[in-house]
Structure 1
C-alpha cells in the first residue's frame, strides 16, 4: 500500500492500482487523482473537505462513493449523497477495507460548536483520525498524526501517541504551523514514537510504503 501525503490533512492511498482519497480540503492543492474508488471526509471543516474538491474528484471518477459522518453529508448535500458512517461501522470498496472510529471533533473552545468527526482505518494498517484524539483499540502500523491545530496541545498529542503506540507515524495537519513550529512538534512526536518505532516526515507529494 502506497500512501502519498498532499498538503495539510489530505492523503492518497494506492493499492493494486486503485486509489482512496482522504480529506481533500481547502488547504490542499486540487486533488487530480484518477483511478479513485472512494473518498473519505472525516468531518465538515473546510480544511478537510470542500464541495469543490469533492466535485472535481467525482468528475474524474464518476459514481464513486463518498464516506463521512452526518455533518459531512449535510455540508456536501448539493454535490453528492454521502454514505454516512460513524463509530464501529465498516465499508469495503475495491481493495480497501475501511473501518470508522470516533464520533466527535476535539473541542476547540466552548464558544465553537463541536462537529461530527469519524477517523478511518484503512486495511488494518493506516489510521487517519481526522481532528480528534482517537485510539482505534487495535494495533496501528502507520499513524497519520495531526501536529498543528486550534484544538491541539502538544502534551495531549504526546499522551495520545503513547497510548496508540504506532509502529510508524508521520505528521499531517501542518498548515497552521510555521516551519519552526512544525519542526518542534515533530521532535515531540519523535520523543514518544522513536524509542520503539519510527517517525517519517513527508513533504507534500512524497510517499511511504505501508
Structure 2
C-alpha cells in the first residue's frame, strides 16, 4: 500500500496500481488527470474536504469511479451520485476493503450545527477520521491524525493519538496552522505516539509513504 498525502486533508492510497482518493477539498491542488481511481471517500460536507470542481475533475478522468460519503454529503453534493455510508458499513471496491466508523463531526461551537462525518479504515490498516475523534473498535496500524482545526486543541489531538494507539501516526488537516505552529503541534503528536510505543512521521504535501 502506498499512501500519498496531498494538501491539508486529502489523501491518495494506491494498491496494485489502483487508487482511492479521500477528501479532495478546496485547500488542495486541482485534481486534474488523476487516473486509475476506483473510488472517492468524502468524510463530510465542509468545502475543505470536497468541492464540486474537485469531484468533476476526478470524474472526467475516471467516469466509472464511485463516490462514498454520509447522508450529509449526499445532500450537499446532490449533483453527484453519492453512495451513502454510515458507521459500521463495510465495502469492497477494486482492491480496497473499506470499513466506516463514526457518525458526527466534532463540535466547533454550540452555535454551529453538528453535521454528519464518517471515518474510513482502509484494508484494516489505515484510519482517517475526517473531522472527528472517532476511535475504531479494532486495532489501527496507521492513523491520519488531524492536527489543526477550529474544533481542535493540541491537547485533544494528543489524547486522540494515545487513545487510538496506532503504530504510525502522521498529521493531516494542517493548513490552518503556520509552519511554526505545525512543527510545534507535530512535536506534541510525536511525543504522544511514543508514549504508546508508536512513531510519528511528518509528510509534506505530495510526499508518499510505503506502508
Question: What range describes the TM-score normalised by the shorter chain of this pair?
Answer: over 0.9
How big is each residue's C-alpha offset from its partner over 1:115-170, in whole Å with a ceiling of 9 and x where there is no partner?
A: 10000000001100000001011111110000000000111111111110000000
- Map 1:1-210 → 2, pairs under 5 A: 1-32=1-32, 33-78=34-79, 80-195=80-195, 196-210=197-211
Aligned length: 209
Give the 4+ runs in structure 1 shifted more than 2 A.
none
Q: Distance in 1 between matches of 2:113 and 2:31?
A: 28
Structure 2 segments unaligned to the other structure (5+ residues):
none
Per the normalisation by structure 1, the TM-score is 0.98
Rounded Cα–Cα distance in structure 2 between residues aligned with 1:181 and 1:137: 31
1:31 deviates by 1.8
